[in-house]
Structure 1
């Protein structure tokens, strides 16, 4: 499992269009938005047929998105090799 949290920056007047575009990207879930700061908070989770990296690129390329900040990333890959 891989998960990432992103802060998406956009103009508040564009939020409806940006949010609709983000909802169409596999693995993306919207969690909140602030018109005062121009930020939308999303998480991205991998799934069958897509990767977190692909979805992050799609978020960055979505229409009217001005920028994306990776706030958090987690993967459980390789944990089975760690000794307790």
Structure 2
């Protein structure tokens, strides 16, 4: 049986003065990719995980990082589930 892959997109809003250190911290988290950023402190983040609970755990971790004002789930998809291509 094939494993299901969960892909989620997040919008992370941080204090601009923490942006550099926040990106360094985010790069330490497994299954996370940084895709876009703005000087105002907004980041687009993509997560890949084996379960929905891992996505939620990662979201909580991001919200607790220094400088983060909010991290919000924008998109979630499951790949590899029965019937998916």
Q: TM-score range by the shorter chain?
A: 0.7 to 0.9
For structure 2, which runs of at least 5 residues remain unmatched after alignment? none
Q: Is the 8 A contact 2:18 2:66 kept in 1?
A: no
| Number of aligned residues | 77
Corresponding residue number in structure 2 for 1:23? 27
TM (normalized to structure 1)? Answer: 0.79
For structure 1, which runs of at least 5 residues remain unmatched after alignment? none
Q: Residue 7 in 1 paired to residue 4 in 2?
A: no
Bigger strand fraction: 2
Taking the aligned partners of 2:69 and 2:56, their CA distance within structure 1 comes to 18
Q: Deviations over 1:14-36 (max 9, x none)?
A: 10111111111111110111013
Taking the aligned partners of 1:76 and 1:31, their CA distance within structure 2 comes to 20
Taking the aligned partners of 1:68 and 1:5, their CA distance within structure 2 comes to 10
Taking the aligned partners of 2:8 and 2:63, their CA distance within structure 1 comes to 13
Taking the aligned partners of 1:61 and 1:75, their CA distance within structure 2 comes to 25
Q: Which runs of 4+ in 1 moved over 6 A?
A: none
SS in 2 for 1:66: strand
